[in-house]
């Protein structure tokens, strides 16, 4: 292709002149180009900066290179298939012209032998899978008996071949419609690689590399045997592990030490870095930052980790950070948590299951959260605080001390208001259990007696249930102290 004498910046300037209202004829006269050239540039590069134009041209060259590679693979495979088919046809012709031997003359055809001629699926020119298997054999550089690939009695059954003691990957062409944002190695098809049980990771990698680097931009393989769908513009560093049936959206960056489970959905423009582990079934929405360096001056680049469980929902602009080495180096989030937009989970946070962080809620470093706690919008929790099970932090509350289980707090600074009656009902507690907790709450926090006498009253008046035991142990083990009770709260009965 003849190189253009105009640079990308000059093309952008010429297009910009036409968009600003200058007549096209005048623009073309000054630039010395034809109007057809101008409109071709405008159709191709309108609204682009010079850097974007250069990137688009690089992508076009890359796509053209991959198309040529695919065409060469198809040409090699079909030429080999045609040669095998012609060889088989010539053998059949020779067999028909050969006289019947004495042993065959008296032979009786058993009912299990077919009497009609049928096309051999191994050598038939319409067998797409066999042509792809030829590519597999040529890429792996190993000879393979075709009978291992296709069962003559049942062409649909294709057992996995083995090379000695090393299991081999079985590749097949799967017809499926094109998916938005994905390209396949063959037009109209997607390539699926499945491996047997016991297949080593090295053999998976070798086969993967054998089918060409072009596939690495679109698909990532997992040890479960199926594939993870990765958008061509996503950046997945070498060493990252992505589970089966996991999708990665456009312009997402995944670091080399990241492990993502199966059935996850990673949106566009997401950054997952550091030593981060995500379980199965997680959803990470666009622009989330997961595993970035903690916002603490004590962090000096240590290899600390972030561990996220299963079935969590991480919405837009959420930030989650790993721990510090001085405090264990782990930030841990349980299962089925909902982190709404712009919420923040700082370093060394330990969070249980089924918690809700509403929009812009923030947890400081070293915060410990139980299960089924709800944080209202714009609420904040001070470092080293503890939040008990089924607690409710009202919107805008600033929590500076520990919040007991089953309680509702509100205000700046947050103060106890009542028992979290609605949250306990949703969690499945009975009316008797809720009423008992309500009475214990008033005994512990409303009466003006010394703390030891309140504990004695609770132990003498109420039966020892798991909820009461959890509440008392939480209060006794508090190091920062319990948030105070404000008179005139909602709990007046």
| pLDDT tens per residue across span 407-431 | 999 999 999 999 999 999 999 999 9
pLDDT for res 228? 77
Q: Where in the chain is the domain with CATH 2.160.10.10?
A: 228-353
End-to-end CA distance of the chain: 86
pLDDT for res 78? 52
348 as an active site residue: the answer is yes
pLDDT for res 6? 81
Instruction: Give me the catalytic one of 8, 255, 334, 347.
Output: 347
Q: Kindly report the CATH class assigned to 228-353.
A: mainly beta
Q: Where in the chain is the domain with CATH 1.20.1180.10?
A: 367-493
How far is Cα 422 from Cα 246, in angstroms, rounded to an integer? Answer: 36
Global pTM value: 0.58
Helix, strand, coil proportions of the chain in percent (round to 5)?
A: 30, 20, 50
pLDDT for res 213? 39
Instruction: Give me the catalytic one of 249, 364, 365, 423.
Output: 365
286's enclosing H/E stretch is none
How large is the C-alpha radius of gyration of the chain? 34
Provide the CATH topology of domain 367-493: Udp N-acetylglucosamine O-acyltransferase; Domain 2 (1.20.1180)
Which stretches of the chain score pLDDT less than 70? 1-4, 69-227, 487-493
Cβ contacts of residue 402 below 8 Å, gap of 6+? 385, 386, 387, 388, 474, 478, 479, 480, 481, 482, 483
pLDDT for res 15? 85
Instruction: Give me the catalytic one of 120, 348, 353, 402.
Output: 348
């Amino acid at each position: 292709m003849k190189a253009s004498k105009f640079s990308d910046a000059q093309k952008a300037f010429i297009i910009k002149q036409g968009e600003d209202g200058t007549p096209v004829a005048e623009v073309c006269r000054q630039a010395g180009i034809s109007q057809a050239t101008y409109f071709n540039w405008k159709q191709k590069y309108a609204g682009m900066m010079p850097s974007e134009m250069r990137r688009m041209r690089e992508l076009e060259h890359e796509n053209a290179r991959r198309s040529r590679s695919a065409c060469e693979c198809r040409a090699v495979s079909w030429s080999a298939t045609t040669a095998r088919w012609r060889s088989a046809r010539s053998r059949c012709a020779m067999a028909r012209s050969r006289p019947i031997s004495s042993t065959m003359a008296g032979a009786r055809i058993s009912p299990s032998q077919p009497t009609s001629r049928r096309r051999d699926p191994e050598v038939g020119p319409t067998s797409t899978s066999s042509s792809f298997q030829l590519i597999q054999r040529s890429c792996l550089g190993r000879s393979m008996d075709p009978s291992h690939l296709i069962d003559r009695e049942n062409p649909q059954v294709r057992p996995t071949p083995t090379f000695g003691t090393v299991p081999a990957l079985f590749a097949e062409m799967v017809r499926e419609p094109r998916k938005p944002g994905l390209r396949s190695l063959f037009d109209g098809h997607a390539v699926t690689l499945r491996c047997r049980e016991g297949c080593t990771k090295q053999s998976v990698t070798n086969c993967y590399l054998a089918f060409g680097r072009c596939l690495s931009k679109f698909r990532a393989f997992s040890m479960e045997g199926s594939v993870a769908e990765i958008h061509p513009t996503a950046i997945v560093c070498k060493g990252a592990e992505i589970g089966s049936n996991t999708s990665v959206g456009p312009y997402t960056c995944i670091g080399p030490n990241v492990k993502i489970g199966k059935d996850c959905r990673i949106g566009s423009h997401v950054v997952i870095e550091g030593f981060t582990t995500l379980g199965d079934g997680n959803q990470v929405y666009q622009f989330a930052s997961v595993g970035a360096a903690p916002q603490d001056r004590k962090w000096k680049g240590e290899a600390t980790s972030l561990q996220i469980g299963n079935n969590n929902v991480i919405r837009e602009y959420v930030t989650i950070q790993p721990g510090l080495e001085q405090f264990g180096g782990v930030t841990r989030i349980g299962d089925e948590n909902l982190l709404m937009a712009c919420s923040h989970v700082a370093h060394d946070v330990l969070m249980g299951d089924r918690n809700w962080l509403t929009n812009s809620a923030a947890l400081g470093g070293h915060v410990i959260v139980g299960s089924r706690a709800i944080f209202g919008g714009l609420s904040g929790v001070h470092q080293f605080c503890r939040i008990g099970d089924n607690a409710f932090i009202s919107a805008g509350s600033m929590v500076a001390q520990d919040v007991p289980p089953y309680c509702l707090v509100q205000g700046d600074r947050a103060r106890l208001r009542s028992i979290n009656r609605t949250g306990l009902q949703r969690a499945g507690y009975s009316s008797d259990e809720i009423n008992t907790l309500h009475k214990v709450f008033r005994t512990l926090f409303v009466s003006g007696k010394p703390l030891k006498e309140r504990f004695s009253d609770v132990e003498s008046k109420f039966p020892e249930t798991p909820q009461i035991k959890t509440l008392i142990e939480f209060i006794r083990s508090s190091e920062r102290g319990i948030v105070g009770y404000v008179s005139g709260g909602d709990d007046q009965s």
